[in-house]
Amino acid sequence: MSALTKQSAEEWTQLFDERYKRTAWPYGSAVWGKKEWVCPDLRNESVVSMDEGGSNLFWAERFGRELGMNDLWVKLCGNSHTGSFKDLGMTVLVSVVRQIIADGGTIRAVACASTGDTSASLAAYAAAGGIPAIVLLPRGKVSTAQLLQPIANGALVLALDTDFDGCMAVVQRLSLDEGIYLANSMNSLRLEGQKTVAIEIVQQLDWNVPDVVIIPGGNLGNVSALGAGFEMMASLGLIKKQPQIVVAQAEAANPLFRAYQRDWHFEPIEANPTQASAIQIGNPVSVRKAIRTLERHQGIVEQASESELADAAARADRTGMYNCPHTGVALAALIKLRKRGLIDARSRVVVVSTASGLKFTDFKLGYHEQRLPEVNALHTNAPVELPNDYDSVRRAIDTHSGWNP
């Protein structure tokens, strides 16, 4: 940090703006455009990048208006190479591993436990960097799209008869073996990349800080990562205030919410099945870091039931989004906190959308066909099946003439 203070805040913002989404390698990546703040000792030729970051900060005008808000934004981190925010951290980790190997290190493979998105990101970046990848998944508990991603990228995919926490225990033991390098978010290299989400949000708001940031919480690495990004900007004089951070958890997998209710006394739980499968985690490895972050950022933790998360995702979809179930958890938390008056109508709020809804077509279809367990779908829009007949089409249109999306 002392080295970074040699440049003024104005010089940093100018440098980052000049690099943003440009073509000079590797600075066009929104992560590597901030290389001095992420991993300054990495040689440029070691970087494995797929133009990660630079995702849309979507002004959710219509959805915000429904909630009585004029300044609601959704950071679409799923608009990335593998469809999730995990790319932001994985580019850093895989690049460092590539440099270690080039310098004679004995890493034989990178490995992770995953509920889907981490494995997809690791497999893609490892494949691009020519590094073998091993991924451990809970069998039958990730979406088909998420399962196919590491398979397509050539990773060794091990589907275990357990949940994410069981996979995490195994991969931690594996990483004790010489040559197996741990790629989960307990590895701080991942968080160095993920913290750029916070920096990018502020950059996209013309270097202004939102009042509230809402983050879906599973393994909780993203919470401390974004907190670190905001705190780093403050330390270097780029911003003058810190946002309030809200963590949203699925009610079926809510150990942090329970800790929040008990003055931060944390106990692991056995997570129950939830449509928000990527955050179905009962013993998050980054919980202590997350709690420290929340304590410094006026933290709130809220939960969402299966109906609440599914309806929130579908309701927001009706305004032009296409949300993953985990974003649905965050949107449901926003709705609940607005109703209770804990988020002001005038606040500038950013919801972090962690993954592309395209990874969760089964969730979407199940909702609109009203077959999701524990979900009483309020915003269904099933197709109207008709014969190949003009009059039938005309009658259907007339019948739905009062339809309001």
Instruction: Give the tens place of pLDDT for each residue, 247-260.
Output: 999 999 999 999 99
212 torsion bin: left (phi>0), alpha (psi -120 to 50), beta (else): beta
The mean pLDDT of 44-65, rounded to a whole number, is 97
pLDDT for position 404: 56
Residues shown for the chain: 405
Alpha-carbon gap, residue 318 to 313, rounded angstroms: 9
What local confidence, expressed as pLDDT, does residue 405 receive? 52
**C-alpha 345, offset from chain centre:** 25
Mean per-residue pLDDT, 144-173: 93
DSSP 110: E
| Domains with residue ranges and CATH for the chain | 57-83+191-368 (3.40.50.1100)
DSSP 84: B
pLDDT digits (tens, 9 = 90+) for 219-230: 899 999 999 999
**Mean of pLDDT over the chain:** 95
Peptide bond into 26 cis (omega under 30): yes
Q: Mean per-residue pLDDT for 56-80? A: 97
Contact 205, 105 (CB under 8 A): no
pLDDT of residue 286: 92
The whole-number pLDDT of residue 178 equals 80
> What was the pLDDT predicted at 343?
98
Interatomic CA distance for residues 82 and 119, integer angstroms: 10
Judge whether residue 401 has pLDDT over 70.
Answer: no
Q: Taking Cα atoms as reference points, which of 313, 311, 375, 347 lies closest to residue 78?
A: 313
Residue 164: predicted pLDDT: 86
Q: How many CB atoms lie within 10 A of CB 380?
A: 11
**Alpha-carbon span 302 to 130, nearest angstrom:** 41
Rounded CA separation 359/361 (Å): 6
State percent of the chain over pLDDT 90: 90
| pLDDT (0 to 100) of residue 402 | 58
Cα separation, 390 vs 26, whole angstroms: 56
Query: First-to-last CA distance in the chain?
Result: 50
Tell me the torsion sign for CA atoms 44, 47, 51, 53: negative
* Percent of the chain whose predicted confidence (pLDDT) is above 70: 99
| pLDDT bucket at 75, cuts 50 / 70 / 90 | very high
Q: Note the pTM of the prediction, 2 decimals.
A: 0.93
Report residue 143's pLDDT band, with 50, 70 and 90 as the boundaries.
Answer: confident
Q: Which two tokens stand for residue 347?
A: 């606040």
CA–CA separation, 111 and 259 (whole Å): 30
Query: Between residues 277 and 214, which one has the greater pLDDT?
Result: 214
Q: Comparing C-alpha atoms, which of 196, 243, 206, 242 is closest to residue 92?
A: 196
Both tokens of 338, joined, read 């607005």
User: Beta-carbon neighbour count of residue 116 at 10 Å?
Assistant: 27
Q: What does the pLDDT look like over 349-383, one tens digit per residue?
A: 999 999 999 999 999 999 999 999 999 999 999 89
In Å, how far are 54, 92, 320 from 102, measured between CA atoms?
29, 15, 46
Give the model's confidence band at 400: pLDDT under 50 very low, under 70 low, under 90 confident, else very high.
Answer: confident
User: For residue 403, what pLDDT is reported?
Assistant: 57
Helix ranges restricted to H, 175-324: 188-194, 196-204, 221-235, 255-261, 287-296, 306-317
Q: What is the mean pLDDT of residues 227-247?
A: 98
